Amino acid sequence: MIRKIQAGLFSFLLIFVIGRNLRAQGPPAHPLALGEAIDYTLAHYPAVLAALEQVESARSGVALARTSYLPQLNPIYQANRATQNQVNGIFLPSTIAPSIIGPVQPYSGTSFWNTQAGALFSWEPVDFGLRRAAVDQARSAEHKSDADVELTRLQVASATGGYFLNLVIAQQVVMAAKADVERWQVFDSTVQVLVQHELRPGADGSRADAELAMARTRLFQAQATEQQAQAILASLMGAAGASIQVEPHPLLGSPPVDSLPASPPAAHPWARDQQASVEELRAKERVINHTDYPRFFVQSEAFARGSGVNPDGTNAGGVKGLGLDRANWVAGISVVFPDLFDFSARRDQKRMAEAQERSQEARYRQTLQDLTGQVAAAQAAYQAAVQIAQNTPIALNAARQAETQARARYQSGLTNLVEVAEAEGLLAQAERDDAVARIGAWRGLFGVAVAQGNLDSFLATLRANSGGS
């Protein structure tokens, strides 16, 4: 027995430690590609998990609605000790005063035992489509939950992709800022040597020091932006505080496609979610329409009672009444009609449901219009981003040549430090623009995928651009 207890405690401790390690496990340590980051977020982000649980709840709701087709069997057993005092008359139904069975007897404070047991069977063979409408309503709620999951997944994936691209851009800006600092460090050293040999005025040395300090400030700002982008991405991935490494390689080249395969607006998760809302309201309206019909129930009941009172009203005494003395059964059909004075309320309910349905249909049509406009705008932004990415290398090459020439002219004494500073600033800006433009083209393509509501084509294009890795 002791060994069994020890084994059980060890198993419990092992399960606890493993479960704790799994909960504490963060994102992979290797650099994440964009697709990996999205997959990890979708698997861990609380909003997605909550939406999935809503789907499970809606599925259970469908199963619950289907149970209305089953008959009901309600057994009961009761034993009590009480007095038997009745009066002639009739009373309105009450949930407080219990019913008393038997003829009126002289008043007595003597108590005795009573028992009763029975079972009521009830089944509704015909409902004029009410239960089917209820099941369809539950099923429409399930479809709505499925649409909510897809919309949530798209929103989470688009947010993850956006912050992922922000982090890659921030890293490229940091690299450009570091290159700017390194150039100014070399140039500042050169200027200080010239100033020491009185080949340049002391003002040039001060200006060079100031330009180097400002370049470092820009580097610090870029690094802060990078850290902020990384913190936001880590938090979105459910790994707040962790260091997220990203793989920028596939994003450093130009996208190999002019556009993504066209997708109809109705296929967008947002449109499907709106359409599911329309269907849910229609199902609700069908349920209301079926409440005007009477309801038929086939019912049967068997019951038995025992009483500690003799037929002449005397107390039988002892444990008499704890047994079941008399049994009965009854079977028949019950027809329950709707409240005849509730027709006005039902009519208003129908009008409300119809108005809600028309309102949701208008929202659905507006959603299709909005999605069509968003796709067109995203396509235009992507084409502009591609053109910019094609133009920035030209500006970068020209800025590099201008910077080289300005340095050479300065060292030859043909120009002043202001021209060099302008050339350095132009080169630093051109490097930042080029780094951002290359990734900006991918960002534009990602925006098209988000507007279309399907990231599969974008991720496939990205994987193909990275050599299938």
Judge whether residue 258 has pLDDT over 90: no
pLDDT at 27 (0 to 100) = 67
Q: Which of 392 and 110 is assigned the larger pLDDT?
A: 392
Residue 163 contacts residue 236 (beta carbons within 8 Å): yes
**Could you tell me the pLDDT band of residue 181, with boundaries at 50, 70 and 90?**
very high
Judge whether residue 13 has pLDDT over 50: no
In the chain, what's the furthest Cα-to-Cα distance? 136
Per-residue pLDDT averaged across 160-166, rounded? 91
d(CA 91, CA 32): 77
**Amino acid found at 339:** D
pLDDT at 15 (0 to 100) = 35
Residue 63 contacts residue 139 (beta carbons within 8 Å): no
Judge whether residue 4 has pLDDT over 60: no
d(CA 182, CA 177): 9
Nearest to 294 by CA among 155, 130, 454, 172: 130
d(CA 150, CA 276): 12
Q: Please provide residue 331's backbone torsions phi and psi, each rounded to the nearest 5 degrees.
A: -145, 145
User: Is beta strand 111-123 parallel, antiparallel or unpaired with respect to 295-307?
Assistant: antiparallel
pTM value is: 0.74
Judge whether residue 372 has pLDDT over 90: yes
- Residues 37, 41, 43: CA angle, nearest 5 degrees: 120
226 CB-side CA count, 13 A = 20
What is the per-residue pLDDT across 298-353, written as a single tens digit (0 to 9) for each?
Answer: 889 998 988 887 877 777 788 787 888 888 888 889 888 887 777 778 888 888 88
State whether residue 385 is helix, strand or coil: helix
Per-residue pLDDT averaged across 166-184, rounded? 92
**Could you tell me the pLDDT band of residue 359, with boundaries at 50, 70 and 90?**
very high
pLDDT at 18 (0 to 100) = 34
Q: Which of 420 and 67 is assigned the larger pLDDT?
A: 420
**Could you tell me the pLDDT band of residue 426, with boundaries at 50, 70 and 90?**
very high
d(CA 251, CA 232): 20
Judge whether residue 14 has pLDDT over 50: no
Per-residue pLDDT averaged across 97-115, rounded? 79
Residue 428 contacts residue 211 (beta carbons within 8 Å): no
d(CA 298, CA 127): 12
**Could you tell me the pLDDT band of residue 10, with boundaries at 50, 70 and 90?**
very low
pLDDT at 84 (0 to 100) = 78
d(CA 461, CA 459): 5
pLDDT at 7 (0 to 100) = 43
**Could you tell me the pLDDT band of residue 2, with boundaries at 50, 70 and 90?**
very low
Per-residue pLDDT averaged across 74-103, rounded? 80
DSSP annotation string for 404-455 = HHHHHHHHTTSS-HHHHHHHHHHHHHHHHHHHHHHHHHHHHHHHHHHHHT--
Average pLDDT score, the chain: 84
Name the strands in the sheet holding 326-336, side by side, starting at the edge strand that comes first in the sequence.
72-83, 111-123, 295-307, 326-336
Per-residue pLDDT averaged across 46-73, rounded? 81
